[in-house]
Structure 1
Amino acid sequence: MEKLFYSVTLSVLFLVLLFHGGKVTSLKTQDESEEWGYVQVRPKAHMFWWLYRSPYRVEDPSKPWPIILWLQGGPGASGVGIGNFEEVGPLDTFLKPRNSTWLKKADLLFVDNPVGTGYSFVEDSNLFVRTDEEAATDLTTLLIEIFNKDERLQKSPLFIVAESYGGKFAVTLGLSAFKAIEDKRLKLILGGVALGDSWISPEDFVFSWGPLLKDLSRLDENGLQKSTSIAQRIKQQLEDGKFVDATNSWNELESAIITNSNNVDFYNFLVDAGSDSATLSAVELGLSREISMNRYSQYLTSMRSRSSPGGDGDLGELLNGPIKKKLKIIPENVTWGGQSNEVFNFLEGDFMKPRINEVDELLAKGVNVTVYNGQVDLICATKGTEAWLRKLKWEGLQTFLGKDRTPLYCGSEKKTKGFFRSYKQLHFYWILGAGHFVPTDQPCVALNMIGAITQSPAA
């Protein structure tokens, strides 16, 4: 039964076409285990989504079965591609079942956000978003289109789970969705927001890199001095409102870190970039321009370090080949990831802006906020995450910081896998042994964690 569910060819399943205004907007399998489609969030701006309904669903009136909306980072990285096939979806890049899929705890909704990412596309370059708020508005439009038409979805709490730059999208979307629910424009239960290794406060992260790497012997005093000098410049540029300049300086800082550390991997500081890392070919992710833009582009189109010699496992080939053929609805002239670089470039003025205030607003509204961080991540280092967390104005912060941590284990082995702290609606997970991609580096503890966050009946 599961084998049929995981089949990528759908050769024995029928597709049900859903029409809207005379145009096909979505498809679903006959058993309704999968549904996907486009929402025109603005004229000539099209956002792609893909919903998996869990075969592990547990019916419990006291604990409704949850839905997870996964938001990828970048900006411009594809949730439909990366989050789905590389991290938490039912199949990996070799189209083999993933034992640690988050479908064991919830339904999964992947979205290629913002428009221009992955399979999403714009017909006019002026339609790319320039701010996190604009991206949140588009996402809210998508949620209204999907949820308001499906009473089944309306009964399940939605948890917005984000990674990397996706965290900035998550908090702005959380506030936008909350308001839309209050205004009765969106029929949805907001369960909470989870921020995984998230780029919430760029200033705090750039100041964390030098001291952290100095303590790890990857930088010496000279390297630390160079790092601190550029970080101070970034701080001043942010205070002066020169956000594009801050983005350029950030790129310069990353280059200085790479040079003075002999190419440390920004997504796992225990290894060199380009080495056989346990992370998701992390050197190819990229959060930057110029020096990092090439590997960013490569990450969006392929995962070659995880590929077999025959080319199997290449994410770009997979999404532009058999997956595009399966989905049937992707326009012929749309290439997965074809507009992703433009997505990043149009957001350069927002890239370095913090979103700490948005986290505060969510907490003030009573929304559950979970923060989780991989121990060996550098780009969104735990040191930086803890720094921005301490800047929150939320009334419960000091009590939260004074709480003892609870150790986390996985399976029968009593080996510490992480720590957890919680007070009221704020929760924090420290995940040991994980880099930037927690679900891939520590799948067992990540699966337990997401079960706890969503209060899944299967947890």
Structure 2
Amino acid sequence: MEKISLFLLLSLMVFLPWFHENFAFAAGTIDGSEQWGYVEVRPKAHLFWWLYKSPYRVEDPSKPWPVLLWLQGGPGGSGVGFGNFLEIGPLDGNLEPRNSTWLRKADLLFVDSPVGTGFSFVEDENLAVKTDEESATDLTTLLKELFNGNVSLQSSPLYIVAESYGGKFAVTLGLSALKAIEAGELKLKLGGVALGDSWISPEDFVLSWGPLLKDVSRIDNNGLNESNSFKSLLKHLEWQDFYNFMLDDGNGPVTMTAMEESKGLMMDKYSRYLESTRFSSSGDDLTSLMNGPIKEKLKIIPMNVTWGGQSDIVFSAMTGDFMKPRIEEVDELLAKGVNVTIYNGQVDLICATKGTEAWVEKLKWEDLKIFLSMDRTPLYCGEDDTVTLGFVKSYKNLYFYWILGAGHFVPVDQPCVSLQMVGNITQSPNYSS
């Protein structure tokens, strides 16, 4: 009898649906600090989400505690896995507490998007999304399910924060969510959109690689002249790490012969991102963690679904949108008064700061000239002003952070200044303890 009671208690901790203010959560911890579940955004297409409630929450009526939605890149990189356990979540890849977790500034909502990413899945491969807009539509459907029946969530401003290709998802989702809000179909407050090392304008990034590598002595003048041809540039990029231009690439050479060299190169190099997201900084296999202890904890993952098992389907389905820019969408968000934050790691190559600055200068935002003329303010870690860790400039609803010493994965390389930046973005009440 005691065994049966213990079993029932453990089952209730995970299986018991959480009904809060007429909203049914699929599963969660007994104390309500974590909730997770699936939303069938289309027939046979399922998005997985995981919400963490912050233990650092400050109740301040003048500044409601925010919710931060993290969108990973790829396309096909898992936010539930990589962003959560290797970047900003409460636990690291070894399941040890992370002191720099972004829970210190907001509740965290991770979604494995598009469908087929991470624990998300499709029952038919033909249901994989093919465009950024289709992904945004699915995410908007998920937000309706999570927010519309939950008054508590509705009172918290939502900040969409993205990394890498996730930036394209973030701006398309921002516009899709606004449209749904204006139509009365979605009940939430959009606090802003933040684009971290985001693949907003592929052309500007590709054109920045040669000059940037020359500026930092990774190629010489001969290499720079050759870089005017993608075929010649390939031999220099064979050994170059795409996420930190200070490092060599451990992978072998890339061979391309078709006219679509630039697109093919990007697809090959960028697809390695999907592999890099499967390992923690300590070398532990993230795939084993997610398909082992984490899947066991969550309980609701179908037996035939493995974490990351459909990521290749996602990446292949979106090849048509891979090189399409999303500068116009950023302009639309700015014109609608949405706070847009751009942040970039200094030593990133694939989404280099030089390329980001180039696409920002193409914005048609009416206040762009004033923004560009503004001086930058240095950033430090806490009250230690002896080491400059970055710079920021802003005007009205556009903000730009230059994060020094960071590559493509800014929260990993510069956790302290990143956390301060997120506090500024979300305008979180200060937690003191």
TM over 0.5: yes
Is the counterpart of residue 301 in structure 1 residue 273 in structure 2? no
- SS of aligned partner of 2:162: strand
Q: What is the deviation of 1:302?
A: 3.1
1 CA distance for matches of 2:315 and 2:169? 13
- SS of aligned partner of 2:50: strand
8 Å CA contact 1:167–1:196 kept in 2: the answer is yes
2:401 corresponding residue in structure 1 = 429
Residues 63-142 of structure 1: pairs in structure 2 closer than 5 A: 63-142=63-142
Distance 1:179 1:333, change over 3 A: same
2:227 corresponding residue in structure 1 = 227
8 Å CA contact 1:174–1:193 kept in 2: the answer is yes
Is the counterpart of residue 264 in structure 1 residue 240 in structure 2? yes
Structure 1 residue runs of 4 or more that deviate by more than 6 Å after TM superposition: 10-13
Is the counterpart of residue 338 in structure 1 residue 309 in structure 2? yes
8 Å CA contact 1:25–1:38 kept in 2: the answer is no
2 CA distance for matches of 1:61 and 1:253? 59
- SS of aligned partner of 1:435: coil
Q: What is the deviation of 1:356?
A: 0.2
8 Å CA contact 1:162–1:195 kept in 2: the answer is yes
- SS of aligned partner of 1:401: helix
Q: What is the deviation of 1:271?
A: 1.6
1 CA distance for matches of 2:321 and 2:355? 19
Which of the numbers 246, 249, 254 marks the counterpart of 1:273?
249
2 CA distance for matches of 1:297 and 1:267? 13
2:13 corresponding residue in structure 1 = 14
1:48 corresponding residue in structure 2 = 48
Residues 263-412 of structure 1: pairs in structure 2 closer than 5 A: 263-274=239-250, 288-290=266-268, 293=271, 295-303=272-280, 306-307=282-283, 313-412=284-383
Q: What is the deviation of 1:365?
A: 0.3
Residues 98-247 of structure 1: pairs in structure 2 closer than 5 A: 98-230=98-230
Distance 1:328 1:438, change over 3 A: same
- SS of aligned partner of 1:212: helix
What amino acid maps onto 1:401 in structure 2? L
Q: What is the deviation of 1:12?
A: 11
What amino acid maps onto 2:202 in structure 1? P
2 CA distance for matches of 1:88 and 1:40? 26
Distance 1:290 1:433, change over 3 A: closer
- SS of aligned partner of 2:380: strand
The superposition leaves residues 208-261 of structure 1 with CA deviations (integer Å, 9 ceiling, x where unpaired) of: 00000011111123332332223xxxxxxxxxxxxxxxxxxxxx68743323xx
2 CA distance for matches of 1:449 and 1:253? 39
1 CA distance for matches of 2:300 and 2:418? 32
1:440 corresponding residue in structure 2 = 412
Distance 1:257 1:186, change over 3 A: farther
Q: What is the deviation of 1:264?
A: 1.9
1 CA distance for matches of 2:211 and 2:330? 26
8 Å CA contact 1:16–1:29 kept in 2: the answer is no
What amino acid maps onto 2:418 in structure 1? A
1:457 corresponding residue in structure 2 = 429
Unaligned runs of 5+ in 2: 1-8, 252-263
1:6 corresponding residue in structure 2 = none
What amino acid maps onto 2:55 in structure 1? P
8 Å CA contact 1:300–1:337 kept in 2: the answer is no
2 CA distance for matches of 1:446 and 1:13? 37
Q: What is the deviation of 1:386?
A: 0.3
2 CA distance for matches of 1:11 and 1:96? 23
1:27 corresponding residue in structure 2 = 27
1 CA distance for matches of 2:414 and 2:423? 14
* CA RMSD in angstroms, aligned pairs only: 2.1
8 Å CA contact 1:147–1:154 kept in 2: the answer is yes
What amino acid maps onto 1:334 in structure 2? V
Unaligned runs of 5+ in 1: 1-9, 231-251, 276-285, 308-312
2:260 corresponding residue in structure 1 = none
- SS of aligned partner of 1:228: coil
Q: What is the deviation of 1:323?
A: 0.1
Q: What is the deviation of 1:18?
A: 2.8
TM-score, structure 2 length as denominator? Answer: 0.90
8 Å CA contact 1:202–1:352 kept in 2: the answer is yes
TM-score, structure 1 length as denominator? Answer: 0.85
Q: What is the deviation of 1:288?
A: 4.3
8 Å CA contact 2:199–2:351 kept in 1: the answer is yes
1 CA distance for matches of 2:18 and 2:99? 35
What amino acid maps onto 1:271 in structure 2? L
